[in-house]
Amino acid sequence: MIDKKIDNAEKTARKVSPLWADCPFTYSKYFFDGVCDGDEKLYGLYSPVCDCFLLLSSDTEVLELLVYLMFTRIKLMVIRIDSSPNYDPKLISNWCSTNWTWSELGNSRVFEMPSPNNIFYENSGELISCTSSIPDKKLVQLMFFAYYVVEWFKSTPGVFYHKVCELIDFPFSDKFTELKKMEKNCYRLIYTCTDYRDIESQVLDTLVPENFQLC
């Protein structure tokens, strides 16, 4: 959990965040701070339509999967932000990422299909404050929920499914196949729903509720 002793600048940034007033979500298992851990690189999931960062993470594999998973809903780009000359973890984190945009994206094409050539941006630029246009809170929450689900499923299948099958008593002869069906259905729900609570409810109600939950 983020340090309780935060300065006035960070308090102000939090208060104008679309997630600030939703304590049940920001203190749920889906939300995370989005700060650098040691020497890790930090990336922002940027939306040209909203002109801001929707979430921050050091896991580029998950961020790339989210770009493809969300491409029919909104265009996203993955930008390295910790190399910015004005980067400061006290000013930008997942508590207030929607308050910031990037200086080097004036020519980005909003409706361009994602491809390996237009997802990752490592070039240095500067963070710019942008509190005038705040994206819909449901969209930001959906990004965090999708991040959580993708991260849960992205582990090496052999090791991951072996561990899960040891912990969960599935009443199926082929547990691997059933888990893959669950993964596909989770992605389908993310792809079509607009509120993460609806997706969560459907997952828990329809995907073997007696034996499976997003842990």
Q: What is the value of pTM for the model shown?
A: 0.76
My answer on whether 17 and 118 are in the same domain is yes
Structural domain count, the chain = 2
My answer on whether 79 and 114 are in the same domain is yes
My answer on whether 92 and 182 are in the same domain is no
User: Which residues lie across from 56 on neighbouring strands?
Assistant: 44
My answer on whether 99 and 180 are in the same domain is no
* Domain membership flag for residue 150: no
User: Which residues lie across from 128 on neighbouring strands?
Assistant: 101
pLDDT number for residue 204: 67
pLDDT number for residue 194: 83
* Domain membership flag for residue 192: yes
Q: Which of 44, 136, 53, 144 is nearest to 100 (CA)?
A: 53
My answer on whether 41 and 93 are in the same domain is yes
My answer on whether 166 and 123 are in the same domain is no
My answer on whether 13 and 111 are in the same domain is yes
Domain around 180: 155-206
Q: Which residue has the tokens 């299909």?
A: 113
Burial of 20 (0-12, 13-18, 19+ CB in 10 A): middle
pLDDT number for residue 150: 83
pLDDT number for residue 215: 47
Mean pLDDT by 10 residues, the chain (215 residues): 43 55 80 85 90 92 89 87 88 90 68 64 83 79 88 65 56 66 82 85 60 46
